C-alpha cells in the first residue's frame, strides 16, 4: 500500500495549502462563468478554459509542494503543471484581445497563443528549474493585458474594465513578490511562493467580478459585426 506523507517543511506546507485554495477558487469561478455562457459563449468558453487550467495547475502545485516524493515523481508533476500554466497565460492574452478587438480577432489569435504556450513549455523542458522563464513570460502577458484593460477602462468602453485592470495590477504585484526572496509569518510561515499565492487569492475574485460585470451588462452576444468595445459597427 502506498504511504503518502505530507512534507515537513513549513513553507512548502503553506505553499501547497494556498495552491489548493487557488484551485478551489478558480474552479468556483469557472463554474460561475459557465452559468453565464448564453451572454457570450465564445468569451465564456475562453475564460472557463483559463480558470479550468488554473484549477489544474493549482491542484498539481499542491501535490508537488505538499507531499514527499522522489525527485523523478516531482519532476513528472511539474511537466503538466508548466504546460497548464503556459496555457493559462496564453488564454488570458486571447481573452484580452477579445475584449479590445472582438471575437474575430481573438479567434485569429488563439492558435498563435496556443503555440506560444507550447513554446514556453518547451523552454521549461530544455531548461528545467529556471523559473525566471515563467516570470518573464507572465510579465509580458500581464503588461499587454494591463495596457488593454487600461485603454478600455479609461475609455469607458467595457463594463468591469476597471476591475480587470485592478486584478491585473494585483497579479503583477504577486509576480514581483514571487520573483523575490521575501518571506513572512502570519500564524504560519510563508516564503515567496506562499506570499505570491496569498496575493493572487485577492486578485482572482477581482478579475472574476470584472468578467461578471462585462457579461451582465452585455446587451447581446457580441459577434464580428458588432463589438461595443471596439466602437465600430
pLDDT of residue 218: 67
- Measured at the CA of 48, the angle between CA 160 and CA 27, to 5 degrees, comes to 100
Mean pLDDT over 175-202 rounds to 94
pLDDT of residue 118: 94
Matching residue, cell 484551485: 23
Q: How far apart are CA 128 and CA 131, in angstroms?
A: 8
pLDDT of residue 213: 96
Residue ranges per structural domain of the chain: 10-217
Q: How far apart are CA 93 and CA 142, in angstroms?
A: 8
Given a cut of 90, whether residue 125 has pLDDT beyond it is no
Which region among 73-82, 85-94, 123-132, 206-215 has the lowest average model confidence (pLDDT)? 123-132
Given a cut of 60, whether residue 222 has pLDDT beyond it is no
Q: Which residue has the higher pLDDT, 125 or 84?
A: 84
Mean pLDDT over 7-33 rounds to 97
* Grid coordinates of 33: 462563468
Is residue 232 very low, low, confident or very high in pLDDT (cuts 50, 70, 90)? very low
How much is the mean pLDDT over the chain? Answer: 90
Given a cut of 80, whether residue 167 has pLDDT beyond it is yes
pLDDT of residue 212: 96
CA-nearest of 158, 175, 57, 12 to 99 is: 158
Instruction: Identify whether the C-beta of residue 135 lies closer than 8 Å to the C-beta of residue 175.
Output: yes
186, β-bridge pairs: 188
pLDDT of residue 163: 98
Q: How far apart are CA 168 and CA 146, in angstroms?
A: 6
Which region among 2-6, 108-112, 181-185, 201-205 has the lowest average model confidence (pLDDT)? 2-6
pLDDT of residue 228: 35
Given a cut of 50, whether residue 230 has pLDDT beyond it is no
**pLDDT per residue over 86-104, tens digit each?**
999 999 999 999 999 999 9
Give the CA-trace dihedral at 32, 159, 137, 68, to 10 degrees.
-30
**pLDDT per residue over 48-67, tens digit each?**
999 999 999 999 999 999 99
Given a cut of 90, whether residue 219 has pLDDT beyond it is no
CA-nearest of 89, 100, 87, 102 to 42 is: 102
Is residue 4 very low, low, confident or very high in pLDDT (cuts 50, 70, 90)? confident
pLDDT of residue 225: 35
DSSP states along 185-196: EESEEE-HHHHH
Three-class SS state of 174: helix
Amino acid at each position: 500500500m502506498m504511504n503518502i506523507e505530507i512534507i515537513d517543511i513549513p513553507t512548502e506546507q503553506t505553499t501547497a495549502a494556498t495552491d489548493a485554495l487557488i484551485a478551489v477558487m478558480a474552479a468556483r469561478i469557472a463554474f460561475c462563468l459557465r452559468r453565464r455562457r448564453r451572454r457570450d459563449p465564445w468569451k465564456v468558453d475562453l475564460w472557463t478554459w483559463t480558470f479550468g487550467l488554473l484549477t489544474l495547475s493549482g491542484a498539481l502545485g499542491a501535490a508537488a509542494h505538499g507531499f514527499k516524493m522522489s525527485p523523478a515523481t516531482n519532476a513528472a508533476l511539474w511537466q503538466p503543471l508548466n504546460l497548464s500554466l503556459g496555457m493559462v497565460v496564453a488564454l488570458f492574452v486571447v481573452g484580452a484581445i477579445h475584449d479590445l478587438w472582438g471575437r474575430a480577432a481573438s479567434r485569429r489569435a488563439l492558435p498563435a497563443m496556443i503555440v506560444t504556450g507550447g513554446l514556453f513549455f518547451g523552454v521549461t523542458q530544455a531548461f528545467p528549474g529556471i523559473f525566471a522563464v515563467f516570470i518573464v513570460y507572465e510579465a509580458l502577458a500581464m503588461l499587454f493585458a494591463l495596457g488593454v484593460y487600461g485603454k478600455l477602462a479609461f475609455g469607458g468602453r467595457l463594463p468591469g474594465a476597471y476591475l480587470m485592470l485592478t486584478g491585473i495590477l494585483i497579479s503583477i504585484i504577486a509576480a514581483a513578490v514571487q520573483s523575490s526572496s521575501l518571506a513572512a509569518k502570519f500564524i504560519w510561515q510563508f516564503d515567496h511562493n506562499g506570499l505570491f499565492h496569498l496575493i493572487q487569492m485577492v486578485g482572482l475574485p477581482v478579475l472574476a467580478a470584472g468578467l461578471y460585470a462585462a457579461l451582465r451588462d452585455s446587451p447581446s452576444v457580441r459577434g464580428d459585426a458588432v463589438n461595443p468595445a471596439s466602437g465600430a459597427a
